[in-house]
Amino acid sequence: MTEPLYLRDAYATEETGTVIGHTPEGGLVLDRTIFYPTGGGQPGDSGRLTWPGGAMSVATSVKAEQGNIALVPAEPQPLPPVGTSVRQVLDWERRHRLMRMHTALHLLSVVIPLPVSGGAVGEVRSRLDFDMPEAPQDKQTLEALLNQLVDSDLPVAEEWITDAELAANPGLVKTMSVAPPTGAGQVRLVRIGQGRDQVDLQPCGGTHVARTAEIGRLRLGKIEKKGRQNRRVYVHFDD
């Protein structure tokens, strides 16, 4: 099974790895990787691999069978054989924007404390869908509250609980459409703030910045009706 190094250090931009397999679709599987695979509304990472006598542009990363992560080449090409040591180089600018955006969506779920029915993380615009019959009346106030949380420079940390502990605390789960990453015996929780300043705690397998000030200023975009009980709220980087 591929070791997900991005969970240990979301800021790692280069690392080595060893090829342990190829997928039928032409992907490359390493024993460990800094590339986050598509999931939970967050796109898979891109970047580059190099090895003696070869190189490969990574278009995206996806989950594969048996807990592995497959790195998908930008175009079909001969892959390094099993056992080859490769150098992984992440497209850090893109990853960092996704980290900022993913953390921003956690804050959006704080200022709009309603069940989340869907979401998508993007490089310049992201969204959450809420179980919300009527659109909020004062979007400017919500935007101000969102940026206040960003400016508070709250720490973003993680902790792990068992599947049983999560089952005993269903209130931790905000998402209605995406199940928490359970099944391995442990579930990763992402905490924003500490002690009295804690504002959010929820299961999440994505990548996040270390402090909220790193997100940068945000702007709320359109609020769209997506069904009788559903409202889609967009958030943008305001830069």
pLDDT digits (tens, 9 = 90+) for 128-138: 999 998 888 88
Are 178 and 40 a contacting pair, CB within 8 Å? yes
pLDDT digits (tens, 9 = 90+) for 83-126: 999 999 999 999 999 999 999 999 999 999 999 989 999 999 99
pLDDT confidence band for 239 (50 / 70 / 90): confident
pLDDT of residue 214: 98
The third-level CATH classification (topology) of the domain covering 95-237 is Threonyl-tRNA Synthetase; Chain A, domain 2 (3.30.980)
- Top-confidence residue, 172 or 160: 160
Using alpha carbons, select from 18, 4, 14, 16 the residue that is nearest to residue 81.
18
> Torsion angle, CA of 169/182/157/150, rounded to 10 degrees?
-80
Are 221 and 126 a contacting pair, CB within 8 Å? no
pLDDT of residue 182: 54
Are 152 and 107 a contacting pair, CB within 8 Å? no
pLDDT confidence band for 38 (50 / 70 / 90): very high
The third-level CATH classification (topology) of the domain covering 3-90 is Elongation Factor Tu (Ef-tu); domain 3 (2.40.30)
Mean residue pLDDT across the chain: 92
Are 29 and 22 a contacting pair, CB within 8 Å? yes
Q: What is the percentage of the chain residues whose pLDDT exceeds 70?
A: 96
Q: What is the percentage of the chain residues whose pLDDT exceeds 90?
A: 75
Residue 176 has pLDDT above 60, yes or no: no
Residue 11 has pLDDT above 70, yes or no: yes
pLDDT of residue 220: 95
3-state SS assignment for residue 138: coil
Per-domain boundaries in the chain: 3-90, 95-237
pLDDT of residue 184: 62
